[in-house]
Structure 1
Amino acid sequence: MSALLRLTATETRLFFREPMSVGFALAFPPLLLVIFGAIPSFREPDPDLGGLRILDLYAPIVVAMGITMFAMTGLPQQFATYREKGILRRMRTTPVRPAMMLGAQLLMSTLLSVVTMLVVLALGRLAFGVDLPRQIPAYLVAYLLSVLAMFAIGLLVAALAPSGRSAGAAGTVLLFPIMFFAGLWLPREAMNDVLRTISDFTPLGAGVQSLQDATAGHWPSLPHVAVMLGWAIVAGGLAARYFRWE
């Protein structure tokens, strides 16, 4: 455990040496919430949304984006780069096995995504009056299931990509449809039946709805939990099957 924590601290220091990565992963989601909050129509209650504001719908989407930034851009690119440069192969000759590096990366990404989530929730509440989750245990369950599903997909990209550059490109390409069905461009409440059904079967479509349910004081529905677990199991299993250390 001490080795894992030391390696996590080292990976975190390396992460913060890349200003572009830090800004994109940590600063962009809160900045996006501020941009949405600056739009007057987003701050007005909408009778069609049961009195909610559009901004209230976007807060969980921005939280989900914080997860996606790490899962689809940072994690796969870093691992594919380490494999491409032979770092993972050389680690096999040391007491720190490559699997330890995997654990450190996952732990770092999870912790930093939690920081982003807390910043978004605090900013939304203090600056724009967005409600905090009424059902905190349900919110944490929904968040962790979203993390599991998205990180499993990120590891699958890392397993299949031949290089760090291709992993970064593939993750970026996947980010757009994943975030579309999460409701970034069109909130799930405004989607037609076909789009919403597709969204329900995507990892972040189910994740965002679960976060919204927890914010309203409800537990995630079993179908959405099953979708997130399904993505985590299938993508994680494929990642384990095809992952190459060298």
Structure 2
Amino acid sequence: MSLTFGLPRGGLRTLTTTQARLLLREPVALIWLGVPVLLVVVFGNIPSFLHPTAALGGKRVIDVYVPTLAAMVPLFLACTALPMTMAAWREKDVLRRLSVSPVPAAGMLAGLVAVIAALAAAGVAVITAIGMLAFGVALPGGAVAVLGSFVLGSAAVLALGLVIAARARTGAAASGFGVPLMVLNFFASGLYIPVEELPRWLQQVCEVIPFGAVTAAWAGRGPLWQHLLVLAGWTVLGSVVAARTFRWE
């Protein structure tokens, strides 16, 4: 019998579908998926946001904020939803019970990660499409750069989210570590202050933070290989640490 994560054929698909239903029942998850979409529409309908600004190097506000708002989706899911869900399973002894049941815990975790990755991809795609089609937002770094950086960026923060999930005993503890990580990435991606308005040294610091590197690749700032290398490094580091420190109970 063909196995996937210790599951029979079709088992992973069933668990993934179940995880999707459970996650989408949470109102908070839907709110965080909807808020960035709403903000893109709101920003795109503010007349002053559609005119080039000298402070942004001739870019429009909407041009700067579309990649930042797109980053909100994978950041929320990876830094809060993923670790808090796993920590809640640990807190309620779900993982311990799964370890002695026919359903392998690894399969449950794989299903959850697959759902979160799919939601992140869908959110980024929708926000980017609205920005490009409705408000004429361009991809200065090129489509390949944007796609590659968002894929690696999402993988990087998922790996970092797994590090938190590996050790957090409770949902509150997971939130306590995940929210600051999310806020740091929000800052680096330009959510609070456009990166173009920051001092050059601080821009360089932002570019070594996962979603700071992603928005830099989108904007075409610096060599693409450097941004992708940063993201690949975070992905590998987070994955290795999470795998070595994860505990089921």
Q: State TM-score, norm by structure 1.
A: 0.90
Counterpart position of 1:96: 103
One of 66, 69, 74 as aligned partner of 2:73: 66
1:19-58 aligned within 5 A? 19-24=27-32, 26-47=33-54, 49=56, 51-58=58-65
Q: Is contact 1:88–1:98 with CA below 8 Å preserved after alignment?
A: yes
Query: Which amino acid in 2 is paired with 1:231?
Result: W
Question: Deviation per CA, 1:154-201, whole angstroms, max 9, x where unpaired?
Answer: 111111222012212321222112210111111221110221111011
Shift in alpha-carbon separation, 1:225–1:7, aligned structure 2, 3 A: same
Q: In structure 1, list runs of 5 or more residues that go unmatched.
A: none
* Structure 2 residue 233 is the aligned partner of structure 1 residue 230: yes
Q: Separation in 1 of the partners of 2:140 and 2:195?
A: 19
Q: Separation in 2 of the partners of 1:219 and 1:118?
A: 24
Query: Which amino acid in 2 is paired with 1:79?
Result: M
Q: Is contact 1:211–1:220 with CA below 8 Å preserved after alignment?
A: no
* Structure 2 residue 94 is the aligned partner of structure 1 residue 87: yes
Question: Deviation per CA, 1:23-62, whole angstroms, max 9, x where unpaired?
Answer: 12x1111122223324332211234545421211111111
1:110-149 aligned within 5 A? 110-131=117-138, 135-149=142-156
Q: Is contact 2:55–2:196 with CA below 8 Å preserved after alignment?
A: no
Tell me the CA shift for residue 83 of structure 1.
1.2
RMSD over aligned CA atoms reads 2.1
Shift in alpha-carbon separation, 1:17–1:67, aligned structure 2, 3 A: same
Tell me the CA shift for residue 228 of structure 1.
0.8
Q: Separation in 1 of the partners of 2:41 and 2:242?
A: 36
Counterpart position of 2:13: 5
SS at structure 1 position matched to 2:15: helix
Q: Is contact 2:139–2:146 with CA below 8 Å preserved after alignment?
A: no
Q: Separation in 2 of the partners of 1:134 and 1:232?
A: 22
Q: In structure 2, list runs of 5 or more residues that go unmatched.
A: 5-9
* Structure 2 residue 150 is the aligned partner of structure 1 residue 176: no
Q: Separation in 2 of the partners of 1:64 and 1:94?
A: 37
Percent of paired sites with the same residue? 38
SS at structure 1 position matched to 2:151: helix
Q: Is contact 1:133–1:139 with CA below 8 Å preserved after alignment?
A: no
Q: State TM-score, norm by structure 2.
A: 0.89
Q: Separation in 2 of the partners of 1:159 and 1:35?
A: 38
* Structure 2 residue 155 is the aligned partner of structure 1 residue 152: no
Tell me the CA shift for residue 138 of structure 1.
3.1
Query: Which amino acid in 2 is paired with 1:121?
Result: T
